[in-house]
Structure 1
């Protein structure tokens, strides 16, 4: 039916609904679009527009040595076993994968991907459990504290499931379209899901990749035992396998023969062991054959006579009881049975598994191993844009594949970083090759995008747009901070209760000069308390404020502006939290040209819970672990109005999960490619890349943390800057720069 075929009554009804800004009933939508396609995939909110935003990637950390160690009793200064493979650097990207995918598809990194032969495989395990979120548990002194998801993560979760399945389809549709564009013509995609969304995703993938490119619906039996009193127990996940075109790269995988199979089919034994009877004709080649006669019977093998003679000479011919000639294929020569579309031989990661990282959605390496081996060759590039605990990169590294990973969750990215460094260490110890990897994000350009500042125009033009929006920007941050605007000051923008507020710049760090200017204005106007808000802070600013500005009459606090401030829903609900900048201390010991770094202090005031509110909601005899003002505390209600508060963090070291050292911080400028007015340019951001040369971190197997680095020797005397980076147990980064002279 077309619009001309609608009745006047139906047309008037549709016009009235549109005028009143009301939704059209589905039957009218189907009638209006019935001639477009035989089957039209429609859901509430479907949008055909796909993001083409291009934001430059910031390289914030580079790991090309898992860790340098000084050797004892050796002529070599550092352990050089294992070599980083030249060329491509693997990429771990933190951020919204829609912006990441759009920037990969449309930006300069696309050319680099094509130079590597294109993206050959995408495996994704997107969120499919309606109850899932980005929170995670922290084990501290035998107790579990829950790190709640950030507001940004909560918003992403809300966007995914806010209106149910239609929100989920909106989220997945745009991302899958971008993945389809990014994928090489010979590429494959595997989409992992469960019964809640499998039906919807199958139709969505058909719509994007085409039903003709559907290859398999793989059933993975992830569990062997499960009871459910209200229905049949669910033991499986679904993995949809599609290709981008008819050019399919597929390497058949085999699983070992089961004991039952061997017992059933391998009946005969000789001095070489058990063997399988095979029809020799099935082994033959086209274009030649060998006709035989045996006791009045005739037959024909589709193989050259020379092949038959070779088998006879090697005693590989076997004759059955009815004198049919067969050939022997021994058990140790067989690959196994080809893997089909039901996978029952791979178990989920159990609680005692060595690879277990206590990450809630972690998938077994053997599962990803099978997928990567099936659809790629050594040296190919694979990607996972919902990387979770980093299983895809771990398997890709072991199989000599290159990789790109991304995730929105800070904890996921940090878990993957530790996992890959630990894997590199193992490869290095075995003398095996490995590739460097870098940690990327979208940095200030993501903030500018959120605020509507174009990134593809000149710096001068961006500056003018920022200046024009300065008042709007300040008011936005103050609203997120629940502060009121004040007038009559140069550097003070607002006030919250008794404290004044300065809003730092959108696109650059808060500097020491800016802090001193704010301090001077406060001093001149007899103001004694001020909060300075910023997205980034100049290196060394936190200790400068802590050590040199503390007793000068003005209480200055540095607070991080969270990215969530750009989401009006979070601001409106009062969900945006500004946290004090953490402070770390380190000592440097210099001996001639050699230096060692010792971590000496870490101070955080991170607050997640309202301790009094938690106490008021506890039942008698119950307890809860909370995070309040830099402490993790177990609160127990012992009686009416009687509470016990047991600190679980007894030392600053309890907060440290990971720390790393760059012994020559300003040795590698961060150069990014930026499109300005249609021209691609290379620009120095003013920052340097953190070269991760030495690190210590806690693992499931080893919870101990080294507080002193291995010695580092400089080739030349001079002044050097050392950067120390700490990642706390909540996954939050804090960095500090120290100057030394050797």
Structure 2
């Protein structure tokens, strides 16, 4: 139906709706946009055009060596077993996958993807539970601590479920359309879902991937068959579905066969004169013409009584892998499994192994844009596939990083090849995008736009910090309670010079307390403030500005939390050209809970673990108004989940490709890539942490900068640079 097919009365009504800025009733929308189709897939908010924004990727970290070690009892300094495969570097990307996908499809990395033969396989396990909880548990001194999901993740799920199914469909439709664009012409996609939304997702996939439905896998998670409870009022929901679609009719599908059982082998008891074994079956309803054709192909067996049967030869017979998978246990990876990483939605590796073997070949590029605990990249690395993985959650990215280093270590131990991977994010470009500053113009133009928006930017940050604006100062922008506030830059780190300028203004105006807010801070700034500015008459606190400050809903609800900047200390010991690093301190003031509020909500005899001001405390209510507080962080080392060393920081400049005024240019960001050369971290299987690195040998004497990076048990990064002099 088109507009010409509407009655004059219907046209008049539509015009009135438009004039009054009212939503059109669904009956008119269906009539206007049916496009001659018998069925039109429509929901509130459907958007035909996915985002096409391109943001440059920051290269934060590069890991091409799981860690160098000194080999005991040999003349060699380092263990060089295992070989780094040259060429493509795998990519682990932190951020909103809509912006990531759009930047991959439309940006310079697309060329790198095409050079690898294109993206052959996408597997995704998107969220499919309303109000999904992506908090996670941490084991500390025998106690389980719950790390709440970040406000960024909460906002993402509010966007996903804000209007129910329609907003979920909006989220998935846009991302699936971009994934379709990113796939190679001979690529396939697998979408993992459960009973909640499988019917909706199949409709989306049918529309986007047209008639290229290639089947579905039924994964029976309860492989041992526990059955339903006696008082159940519904059929047990014991399986997930995994839909498979290809982009075109040309796609990879490697046959997975299974060996015949002894019972099945006994059926092949007949032989041709040449000794070729076969089994026979009745002909059924074959026509005389078909039987004559099969006789010419030697596919008919005639018994001594003259009855004819069809032949099935043993050397051509196998059992195809069924689409009903009942042999892979579910409900979370088994507790004792080596692959278990403690991530709430982790899937068994065997699922991904089968999918990769069927729909990709060795050397192919595969991807997961809801990577969670990193099962796809882990399996891809073991099966010699290249990979891209992305996730919104900081903890998911950190979990995947540790898991991939473990995979590299295992391959290296066996002397097998492995690939480097790099950790990417959208960094300041994502912040500028949130604030409406384009990245495809010159830096000078970007700065001009920022200056125009400076007042709006400062007001937004002050509102998120619950501070009021103040006038009459050069560096002081606001005040919260008794403390003044400086809002640091949107796109560059807070520097030592800036801190000293804020300090000088406070001193001149007899101001004794100030908070300096920033998205990034110059390396070593926190210990400088703590050690050298502490007793100068002005109490300066450095606070991280969280990404969620750009979400008005989070600001309105008071959910935005600014945390003190953590800092670390390390000792370096030089012996000739060798140096090793010892982690010696870590200070954090992270706060997740209000301890008094928690106490007020406890029942007698119950307890809860809280995180407040850098302490993890177990609170127990022993009686009315009587509480016991037990600190679980006995040492600063309890906060450390992971630490790593780059022994020659500033050796690798971060060069990115950006479009400026229609031209693609390479430029140095002013930052350096962290070359992860040695690391120690805790796992579910091994909670021990080494505090001293293996020795590193420099080839030439001179001064070198060493960067030490710590990731705490909550997934937050802290780095510090130390300088050493090597005489040789």
TM-score by length of 1: 0.91
Give the Cα separation in 2 of the matches to 1:183 and 1:641: 61
Residue 300 and residue 468 in structure 1: after superposition, are their counterparts in 2 closer, same or farther (change >3 A)?
same
Does residue 247 of the first structure (1) align with residue 253 of the second (2)? no
SS in structure 2 at match of 1:378: coil
Map 1:207-606; keep pairs closer than 5 Å. Answer: 207-210=207-210, 212-224=211-223, 225-228=226-229, 229-257=232-260, 261-266=261-266, 277-278=277-278, 302=298, 329=314, 337-348=319-330, 349-606=333-590
Does residue 54 of the first structure (1) align with residue 73 of the second (2)? no
Give the Cα separation in 2 of the matches to 1:732 and 1:575: 18
The answer on whether the counterparts of 1:92 and 1:439 sit within 8 Å (CA) in structure 2 is yes
SS in structure 1 at match of 2:694: coil
1:698 match: 682
1:99 match: 99
List per-residue Cα deviations over 1:455-500 (Å, max 9, x = no partner).
Answer: 0001111111111111111111111111111111111111111111
2:632 match: 648
SS in structure 2 at match of 1:685: strand
Q: CA deviation at 1:625?
A: 1.1
Q: CA deviation at 1:115?
A: 0.4
The answer on whether the counterparts of 1:268 and 1:276 sit within 8 Å (CA) in structure 2 is no
Give the Cα separation in 1 of the matches to 2:56 and 2:30: 42
Q: CA deviation at 1:265?
A: 4.0
1:635 match: 619
SS in structure 2 at match of 1:667: coil
Residue 322 and residue 605 in structure 1: after superposition, are their counterparts in 2 closer, same or farther (change >3 A)?
farther
Residue 550 and residue 251 in structure 1: after superposition, are their counterparts in 2 closer, same or farther (change >3 A)?
same
SS in structure 2 at match of 1:663: strand
2:153 match: 153
1:307 match: none
Residue 431 and residue 43 in structure 1: after superposition, are their counterparts in 2 closer, same or farther (change >3 A)?
same
List per-residue Cα deviations over 1:294-317 (Å, max 9, x = no partner).
Answer: xxxx965559xxxxxxxxxxxxx9
1:70 match: 70
Give the Cα separation in 1 of the matches to 2:535 and 2:451: 35
2:199 match: 199
Q: CA deviation at 1:731?
A: 0.5
List per-residue Cα deviations over 1:560-595 (Å, max 9, x = no partner).
Answer: 011111111111111111000001111111111111
Give the Cα separation in 1 of the matches to 2:625 and 2:35: 70
Q: List alignment gaps of at least 5 residues for structure 1.
A: 282-297, 304-316
Give the Cα separation in 2 of the matches to 1:679 and 1:706: 48
List per-residue Cα deviations over 1:606-665 (Å, max 9, x = no partner).
Answer: 111111111111111111111111111111111111111111111111111000000000
Q: CA deviation at 1:72?
A: 2.1
The answer on whether the counterparts of 2:269 and 2:277 sit within 8 Å (CA) in structure 1 is no
SS in structure 2 at match of 1:439: strand
Residue 15 and residue 117 in structure 1: after superposition, are their counterparts in 2 closer, same or farther (change >3 A)?
same
List per-residue Cα deviations over 1:355-396 (Å, max 9, x = no partner).
Answer: 111211111111001111111111100000000010000110
Q: CA deviation at 1:108?
A: 0.3
SS in structure 2 at match of 1:664: strand
1:284 match: none
The answer on whether the counterparts of 1:656 and 1:727 sit within 8 Å (CA) in structure 2 is yes
Give the Cα separation in 1 of the matches to 2:319 and 2:675: 47
Give the Cα separation in 1 of the matches to 2:519 and 2:258: 52
The answer on whether the counterparts of 1:610 and 1:628 sit within 8 Å (CA) in structure 2 is yes
Residues 674-683 or 518-527, more deviating: 518-527
1:185 match: 185
Residues 356-365 or 25-34, more deviating: 25-34
Q: CA deviation at 1:194?
A: 0.8
Give the Cα separation in 2 of the matches to 1:454 and 1:429: 47
Give the Cα separation in 1 of the matches to 2:649 and 2:97: 29
Q: CA deviation at 1:264?
A: 4.3
Q: CA deviation at 1:276?
A: 10
Residue 127 and residue 495 in structure 1: after superposition, are their counterparts in 2 closer, same or farther (change >3 A)?
same
List per-residue Cα deviations over 1:656-709 (Å, max 9, x = no partner).
Answer: 100000000010000000100000000000000000000000011100000000
The answer on whether the counterparts of 1:478 and 1:494 sit within 8 Å (CA) in structure 2 is yes
Give the Cα separation in 2 of the matches to 1:413 and 1:553: 41
SS in structure 1 at match of 2:459: helix
Residue 299 and residue 456 in structure 1: after superposition, are their counterparts in 2 closer, same or farther (change >3 A)?
closer
Give the Cα separation in 2 of the matches to 1:35 and 1:680: 39
The answer on whether the counterparts of 1:122 and 1:189 sit within 8 Å (CA) in structure 2 is yes
Residue 496 and residue 253 in structure 1: after superposition, are their counterparts in 2 closer, same or farther (change >3 A)?
same
SS in structure 2 at match of 1:371: helix
Give the Cα separation in 2 of the matches to 1:634 and 1:22: 54
Q: CA deviation at 1:231?
A: 0.7
State the aligned residue count. Answer: 702
1:672 match: 656
The answer on whether the counterparts of 2:134 and 2:344 sit within 8 Å (CA) in structure 1 is no
Q: CA deviation at 1:279?
A: 5.5
Residue 585 and residue 5 in structure 1: after superposition, are their counterparts in 2 closer, same or farther (change >3 A)?
same
Residues 509-518 or 333-342, more deviating: 333-342
The answer on whether the counterparts of 2:131 and 2:161 sit within 8 Å (CA) in structure 1 is no
Give the Cα separation in 2 of the matches to 1:62 and 1:340: 40
Give the Cα separation in 2 of the matches to 1:12 and 1:407: 48
Give the Cα separation in 2 of the matches to 1:654 and 1:227: 42
1:615 match: 599
The answer on whether the counterparts of 1:265 and 1:276 sit within 8 Å (CA) in structure 2 is no
SS in structure 1 at match of 2:139: strand
Cα RMSD for the two superposed structures? 2.4
Give the Cα separation in 2 of the matches to 1:471 and 1:325: 84
Q: CA deviation at 1:7?
A: 3.5
Give the Cα separation in 1 of the matches to 2:34 and 2:583: 68
Residue 430 and residue 45 in structure 1: after superposition, are their counterparts in 2 closer, same or farther (change >3 A)?
same
Residue 256 and residue 584 in structure 1: after superposition, are their counterparts in 2 closer, same or farther (change >3 A)?
farther
Give the Cα separation in 2 of the matches to 1:517 and 1:335: 80
Give the Cα separation in 1 of the matches to 2:18 and 2:158: 28
Residue 268 and residue 107 in structure 1: after superposition, are their counterparts in 2 closer, same or farther (change >3 A)?
closer
2:121 match: 121
Q: List alignment gaps of at least 5 residues for structure 2.
A: 282-293
